Structure 1
């Protein structure tokens, strides 16, 4: 390399991810290793397993196309893009391997020998993950850089990180006196979990002892089973503290046993949370619970927005942001249903208010719209249905006033089509699964994920059981879903050729929901349903599919990493919009992306495309 070119090379690579993560002396060291080559249009670089000299390529100017062995386009790259990561390791290979890179136009390349890069990374291993050959590692590293897991507060911690107490564990045949002795004189704890033949059957607290034993004059020689709380509420060690706190508030209890299966891991009390932190989101949920007017609930919109901003700025993971925002959404929805019952009178028969889409998946963001429905018991009268229509109109309209957008496709309980008896809902699902068409796919894309938030949860459970049974009996339904899911592809091209909106107020922007997030959700749905996964959450569906062996470990890590990265970019974009006083959404100006975002988005888009190809092969012929 001509030494006079070194300043230009150094200036160029020092602003490119991942070189910008290196200290200046290492940037200079690598710049000194660079050689330069020029390719005319149509010239290509072939990659062979037995090549002894390999390079990391940096595109200075021009366009390169990576092609797989079968000729399929892997990626289209432009200035500042890198390729050659895949061949950094001798064992590189797999379904995402490419065999050739072709110049789509005249192209100038900087080449860094792998040997020099390996030497540098061996001497400075703290930077190795920035240059990992596997996209999943680079994506995870990107998440760690931009979105570290440092929590903003206790509400995003796991219960196991906060619960330090341990309850007494007693048996149901012990006397009240014996249990009280265990709680006070032995363990000095205020709560006891009661078991019978190894199964948790109840719980008793010192307050229960005062109210149910001393106040009522019950003999302490009686068995504890007579005064315990049966079928107690519990919380899992991996659940969020926010989930536990909301459960406590909704049921007016002060402690929750931490259990998995019937194994007791500890005890979470309100004292833990008061001692540790003031939890903003929990206080909002409690405020919502006690607010009695639409105006009052609407006035809390800014506080909801502040919590979202705090989580994004606090670099909380996208999964937790979705869960927390989902719980707040649930609280608004439940309270409005209660206010509706206060306004119109108690519901005349059993019903379930269910949510769908991102709300059902607990993947809620600041601009999530409404997806909901009502399931009413089959013996409901015509007058009963009129009551629920008034309720649905009131609740959906009020949610709109509180900042939850009306669904543009009208998939809401206020639409009479989605306010039906349980038998009608079952008929809907039967038709959708057995005779799918375009309208069917539109409906099922919304209502394949549902969750009950108020009323008879059993109605939703029965509907979901009916759905899973239908799918198991009509495997061609998955083939129809996959055909629809791969009809849209993520943009593999360079960023000035992204799939952009061509008209309207969002012209020349990338709809990251349509061209990335929805594609991942669709794939998770198909993989999850194929193995009978009952979870509606995208990450949980992929995890279950991996556990069942239909999704390889690499594919699982790749797609979940890609999903996290894309979601968190969306949250960052929405945060910036809020700060500017603009309406947050899913349409992003490509100028918003720097070198860092472009590099890792391309990894994510390619991962999505690869999984689409794999899903077509796996499910198209079922």
Structure 2
């Protein structure tokens, strides 16, 4: 190759992922290794031969189509795309099976010999991950957390940066009087109780008031009698986000900071208020004490501020989902309490349950309402009229608080989803035994539910009935499999090719429909097959792996794909909010650089492979 071409090639490599992350000297060395080839439309590159030289291919201009030997589409690739990662690892299954890549228009390729690339990466091991043969490793590199320089409040701080070292640690036999004196002397709101060197409980200054003074308890009794046992703790290296989430979820105001068996400090709600500029962590506390719908709607901007801080700080999508879910839970619970105050005491027992992303702890800024009511079997016609009014009031109030009404009407305000427990059971039995389209839709919406308010045992009993019904059905799981593979990920997306052809979203990809939902649907199948009781998507895949329904490699692939896709969706929602637009699930592939496009294609290919594996596995079984 002419030396005069090397600067031009290096400049091109420096503009695309992952070469743009390499030092200039390594970019130059790779450019010096490159062979250049031209393919006319229809010409092929073949892989898998024992004696063939192996290359990493970079498309300079044109486009390629990859197909497996069985004719299935593997991917479509355009300018700036790379392929040939798989063959960097001799152990890869596809190395034996092989696949072909065909030029679907005149194409100019840069060929980097694997032997040269591997040698260079030995010199620069810090950059090897970007060229890993395993797709989950490459996806993981896309998810590395790098905090933004802008202020994110307390979310991204370590507990050790915020916690107080003023802490009281006493033995379980210490008299209440002495513990109270130590709490006052140290000016700590909390005392940690130990027994035989182990932390067994916690006492706060509020506990002293409620459990001792108000109750008239003898102050010479051992503190063990008034402590809260089995206290939650955090480590100094934990993010404050984790601590605040634990406090909100468990309604506690203090957490001991523990390093091994040593108590090194305490973190309280007061510390968080003082250190958090937007006080986002305490939105749940504000929701809890709101008295009107107007009070709650006024907090919408703070909810958005929390979301923006989490996504800008590149907090993982699963943690973001959990935090946003806890906030949505708080709105639901407070509105239900307000509704009961407004309409009077409920005439019979009931359970308010949530479904969909809310039940899966995967709430984001687009999450709408999916909820229902399970009534006691002795509910009368008058009772049902009460709950219809209550549900309509709560659902409309949630809508006013920016949790939109479900377009499919899967809400408690719909009489279909406000039924006695025995009617719910009968409906589940019918849906599972005869999973036609409407029945399958109903059961998939309510396949994951989570209790939120009222009588929890109603939901527990209903879920047990559902799983028992599925175990007895010979057709339900196969129907679920057919439905989950009826929509395919966009393996053909490249350059300006998009999926949506009409309407306002004429040049966009619906990442929810064509990617995230496919992984959620497949997770249901693996969760049911492995007997998982959790509703969370990745927890279902993990459970399936533990029960040997998925290989470790498959699990890591799915984990990387799901994390990357959900992170992309959250980033797109953040961008819309920043630009004053209403967020949606439609993304413009042309707005991405080569980095995002490559990883999107990796994720789509993982989904397609999982669909194919699932279809074969469950059809065979």
TM-score, structure 2 normalization: 0.88
Which residue in 2 is equivalent to 1:245?
247
Distance 2:62 2:80 in 1: 10
Q: Corresponding residue for 1:412?
A: 411
Conservation of the 8 A alpha-carbon contact between 1:59 and 1:82: yes
- Does the CA contact (< 8 Å) of 1:66 and 1:98 recur in 2? no
Aligned residue in 2 for 1:280: 279
Q: Which moved more, 1:296-305 or 1:4-13?
A: 4-13
C-alpha displacement of 1:140: 0.5
Counterpart Cα distance in 2 of 1:268 and 1:96: 56
Aligned-partner SS, 1:452: strand
C-alpha displacement of 1:437? 0.9
Cα distance in 1 for partners of 2:344, 2:230 equals: 30
Is 1:580 matched up with 2:579? yes
Q: CA deviation at 1:311?
A: 1.4
| Bigger mean CA deviation after superposition, 530-539 or 300-309 | 300-309
Partner of 2:380: 381
Q: Deviations over 1:337-373 (max 9, x none)?
A: 1221222112222211111101111111111111111
Describe the superposition over 1:45-67 as per-residue Cα deviations: whole angstroms up to 9, x where unpaired.
Answer: 22236336211111122222222
Say whether the 8 Å CA contact 2:481–2:615 is kept in structure 1.
yes
Alignment root-mean-square deviation, CA: 3.5
Q: Answer yes or no: is the 8 Å Cα contact 1:531–1:545 preserved in 2.
A: yes
Which piece of structure 1 moves more, 131-140 or 325-334?
A: 325-334
Deviations 1:145-200 (A, max 9, x none): 778999945557898998898997978xx696799699989x9994456999x998
Distance 2:484 2:147 in 1: 29
Q: How many Å separate the matches in 2 of 1:455 and 1:266?
A: 37
- How far 1:512 moved relative to its partner? 0.6
Q: Distance in 2 between matches of 1:323 and 1:612?
A: 27
Tell me by how many angstroms 1:270 deviates: 3.9
Hey, what does 1:86 align to over in structure 2? Answer: 86
Q: Deviations over 1:525-571 (max 9, x none)?
A: 11111111111111111111112221111111111111111111111
From the superposition, tell whether residues 265 and 149 of structure 1 become closer, same or farther in structure 2 (CA, over 3 Å): farther
Alignment of 1:587-606 (within 5 A): 587-606=586-605
Q: Following the alignment from structure 2 to structure 1, what is the Cα–Cα distance between the partners of residues 72 and 264? A: 52
**How many equivalent residue pairs?**
610
C-alpha spacing 1:396/1:455, structure 2 compared with 1 (3 Å)? same
Partner residue of 2:114?
114
Aligned residue in 1 for 2:18: 18
CA change 1:416–1:199 in 2 (3 A) is: farther
Counterpart in 2 of 1:470?
469
CA contact (8 A) 2:183 2:205 kept: no
Distance 1:574-1:394 versus aligned 2 partners, 3 A rule: same
Structure 2, unmatched stretches of 5+, are: none
* Displacement after TM superposition at 1:482 (Å): 0.9
Tell me the secondary structure at the aligned position of residue 597 of structure 1: helix
CA contact (8 A) 1:150 1:315 kept: no
CA deviation after TM superposition for structure 1 residue 142, in Å: 1.1
Matches of 1:422 and 1:194, distance apart in 2 = 45
Alpha-carbon shift at residue 492 of structure 1 (Å): 0.7
CA 1:427–1:35 in 2, change beyond 3 Å: closer, same or farther? Answer: same
| Alpha-carbon distance between aligned partners in 2 of 1:458 and 1:150, rounded to the nearest angstrom | 46
Quote the offset at 1:518 in angstroms: 0.2
Q: Deviations over 1:420-456 (max 9, x none)?
A: 1111111121112121111122112211111122222
Where does residue 56 of structure 1 map in the other structure? 56
| Corresponding residue of 1:425 | 424
What residue is the counterpart of 2:38 in the other structure? 38
**Alignment-derived partner of residue 515 in structure 1:** 514
| Residue 348 of structure 2 is aligned to residue 349 of structure 1 | yes
2-side partners of 1:615 and 1:150: how far apart? 44
- Give the 5 Å matches for 1:454-469: 454-469=453-468
Distance in structure 2 (CA, Å) of the matches to 1:618 and 1:429:
26
Following the alignment from structure 2 to structure 1, what is the Cα–Cα distance between the partners of residues 25 and 148?
26
Q: Which moved more, 1:18-27 or 1:266-275?
A: 266-275
Residue aligning to 1:65 = 65
Moved more, 140-149 or 337-346: 140-149
Q: Which residue of structure 2 lines up, in the alignment, with residue 307 of structure 1?
A: 306
Tell me which residue corresponds to 1:2.
Answer: 2
- Tell me the secondary structure at the aligned position of residue 33 of structure 2: coil
Q: Is the Cα contact below 8 Å between 1:64 and 1:77 reproduced in 2? A: yes
CA 1:181–1:575 in structure 2 vs 1: closer, same or farther (change >3 Å)? closer
Worse-matched range after superposition: 579-588 or 12-21:
12-21
Q: Return 310-319 or 515-524, whichever deviates more.
A: 310-319
Offset at residue 3 of structure 1 (A)? 3.1
| Matching residue of 1:323 | 322
**Quick check: 528-537 or 140-149, which moved more?**
140-149
Q: How many angstroms apart in 2 are the aligned matches of 1:406 and 1:328? A: 17
Give the conservation status (yes or no) of the 8 Å contact 1:372–1:411.
yes
The CA distance in 1 between the partners of 2:586 and 2:142, in whole Å, is 22
Cα distance in 2, alignment partners of residues 64 and 167 from structure 1: 67
Separation in structure 2 between the aligned mates of residue 416 and residue 562 of structure 1, nearest angstrom: 38
From the superposition, tell whether residues 361 and 335 of structure 1 become closer, same or farther in structure 2 (CA, over 3 Å). same
Matching residue of 2:360: 361
> CA offsets, 1:98-131, max 9 Å, x none?
4322223332211111122122211111111111
Q: What SS class does the counterpart of residue 100 from structure 1 fall into? A: strand
